[in-house]
Amino acid sequence: MPDLSGKVAIVTGAGRGIGREHALALARAGAKIVVNDLGASLAGEGADEGPAHDVVRELEAIGGEAVTNGENVADFAGAKRMVQQAVEHFGRLDILVNNAGILRDRMLVNMEEDEWDAVIEVHLKGHFAPTHHAAAYWRELSKSGKEVRARVINTSSPSGVFGNVGQANYGAAKAGIVGFTLIAAQELQRYGVTVNALAPNARTRMTEAAFGEIPPPEDGFDPADPANNSPIVVALCADDAQDITGQVFFVYGGIVNMLRGWEAGELFASDTRWDPDALLQELRDRLPDGAAPAGMLASMHEAGGQSMRER
Ligand X SMILES: NC(=O)c1ccc[n+]([C@@H]2O[C@H](COP(=O)([O-])OP(=O)(O)OC[C@H]3O[C@@H](n4cnc5c(N)ncnc54)[C@H](O)[C@@H]3O)[C@@H](O)[C@H]2O)c1
Give the distance, in angstroms, between the CA of residue 32 and the centroid of all CA atoms in the same chain. 20
With binding defined as CB under 6 A, does residue 164 bind ligand X? Answer: no
Residue nearest to ligand X (CB): 17
Burial 179-211 (b: 16+ CB within 10 A, else e): ebbbebbeebeebbbbbbbbbbbbbbebbeebe
In this structure, the chain runs to a length of: 311
With binding defined as CB under 6 A, does residue 79 bind ligand X? Answer: no
Smallest gap from residue 218 Cβ to ligand X (A): 21
Whether 170 is catalytic is: yes
With binding defined as CB under 6 A, does residue 102 bind ligand X? Answer: yes
Whether 7 is catalytic is: no
Q: Are 49 and 39 in contact (CB under 8 A)?
A: yes
With binding defined as CB under 6 A, does residue 12 bind ligand X? Answer: yes
Catalytic residue among 7, 156, 170, 299: 170
Whether 137 is catalytic is: no
Binding-residue total with ligand X (CB under 6 A): 34
Smallest gap from residue 169 Cβ to ligand X (A): 11
With binding defined as CB under 6 A, does residue 37 bind ligand X? Answer: yes
With binding defined as CB under 6 A, does residue 175 bind ligand X? Answer: no
With binding defined as CB under 6 A, does residue 202 bind ligand X? Answer: yes
Residue with smaller CB distance to ligand X, 148 or 197: 197
**CA–CA distance, 289 with 307 (Å, rounded to integer):** 27
What order do you get walking across the sheet with 95-97 strand by strand?
66-69, 32-36, 8-11, 95-97, 150-155, 193-199, 248-252, 255-258
Active site residues: 157, 170, 174
